[in-house]
Amino acid sequence: MKPSGAKANFLPPGLISNLQDVLSSRKGAPQNDKNDDSTEPNSVSDDPVEVDDTKPVVLVTNADGIESPGLTYLVDALIRLGLYNVNVCAPQSDESTAGHSFTLKESIAVTSAEIHGATAYEVSGTPVDCVSLALSGALFSWSKPMLVISGINKGSSCGRHMFYSGVLAGARESLFSGVPSISISLDWKKDESQESDFKDAIGVCLPLINAALRDIEKGLFPKCCLLHVEIPKSPLINKGFKSTRQSHWSPKLCWQAISASRNPAAGRFVPNQQMLGLQLAQLGRDASAAGAARRLATQKKNVEEVESVGVSGKFDPNRKAKYFRLELLDKKQEEEDDDLDFIALENGFIAVTPVSLSMHVEADVHAAASEWISTALEVEQ
């Protein structure tokens, strides 16, 4: 049975089978059972998860991946408190800049993850996929968590970076479903920050998380917005929490041409048919593939160009693939308002920004969130 997301293959079935055999033998991988038509992952248990109804249900997700230190330290701290039913549904790989994208017309794989004290799954999708699936009722035994926490992200998500941010998108998807949410980012600095900073960041944001859960039960937590928390690069050296507004800060997007021969990872961006043509060219002798595509590599201004394979399997010398890589560079900001998120963060504050579903946070929503931030933490302390 062909998965619904699979693309039509225009090469002879015998040739494809022969190529797969060669690839499998080179990798030492076992052959798949060709009679197995199952499209459902076997590692996700259908057994109901026991939930202590006396404890609030908390769902944790992130964008850096389920094995990232930010999520690991956060989940461990919540479990150690013993106050909540902790559940995890997070991407299996880094989806930090996935934005609010989701997977459509393709299947995603969900596998159970071993996190002692929590029910956890890793998902071959985006943060939005994770939250949407978790809240759908198809995966967990509970109907709705009390709070969704997305983080802790490795790197700031201030200003316009919020639109790229996968960690904030996870919290936003929760808000779409009417579930209160908090997203958390650590202002990670290359060559300065270290993994222990995540552990310190947990101690800083736990009072806010506990206050949120307490006031959600009382109906006092701000509605119609999520709270995005930015923790300074040295978490233990902070000036306290500060209610902030989203700035216009954005990183500079710098695209650079690269050579696939110098950076083999670039090859993963080659379209499926074209990559298959390259594999046929490299393995044509072993696979005895008559008419296999030839590989032609030339360099022009440090850019790798590769012959393209058309639908019919013939060469199209007029189509070339070029490889580029994006880097995000800091740039000088002209805004100087102390209430803006990135200014507060640079000044050593823990910036807490209310984010609504509209393009701009209404004045009353921002005022309500600011009032809660200033009063809730006083009670918690």
Extract the residue ranges of the chain whose pLDDT is less than 50. 1-11, 22, 27, 29-43, 45-49, 266-278, 280-309
Amino acid symbol at 359:
M
Q: Which residue in 196, 136, 160, 218 sits closest to 353, CA to CA?
A: 160
Checking DSSP bridges between strand 181-186 and strand 225-231, what pairing results, if any?
A: parallel
Q: Label each residue of the chain as H, E or C.
A: CCCCCCCCCCCCHHHHHHHHHHHHHHHCCCCCCCCCCCCCCCCCCCCCCCCCCCCCEEEEECCCCCCCHHHHHHHHHHHHHCCCEEEEEEECCCCCCCCCCCCCCCCCCEEEECCCCCEEEEECCCHHHHHHHHHCCCCCCCCCCCEEEEEEEECCCCHHHHHCCHHHHHHHHHHHCCCCEEEEEECCCCCCCCCHHHHHHHHHHHHHHHHHHHHHHHCCCCCCEEEEEEECCCCCCCCCEEECECCCCCCEEEEEEECCCCCHHHHHHCCHHHHHHHHHHHHHHHHCCCCCCCCCEEEECCEEEEEEECCCCCEEEEEECCEEEEEEECCCCCCCCCCEHHHHHHCCCEEEEEEECCCCCCHHHHHHHHHHHHHHHHHHC
What is the structure's pLDDT at 18?
54
CATH code of domain 57-250+335-380: 3.40.1210.10
Both tokens of 206, joined, read 């736990």
Cβ contacts of 53 within 8 Å, gap of 6 or more: none
- Cα–Cα distances in Å, from 297 out to 69, 281, 320? 40, 12, 10
Spans of all domains in the chain: 57-250+335-380, 253-326
341, 351 contact by CB (below 8 A): yes
Q: Which residue in 283, 264, 278 sits closest to 315, CA to CA?
A: 278
In the block, residue with structure tokens 């890589």? 325
Summarised one tens digit per residue, pLDDT across range 36-78 is: 444 444 445 444 445 677 899 999 999 999 999 999 999 999 9
Summarised one tens digit per residue, pLDDT across range 172-216 is: 999 999 999 999 999 999 889 999 999 999 999 999 999 999 999
Q: Quote the Cα angle for 365-369-372, to 5°.
A: 140
Both tokens of 1, joined, read 């049975």
Q: Quote the Cα angle for 134-243-343, to 5°.
A: 105
- Cα–Cα distances in Å, from 113 out to 85, 88, 127, 236, 288? 16, 9, 16, 31, 42
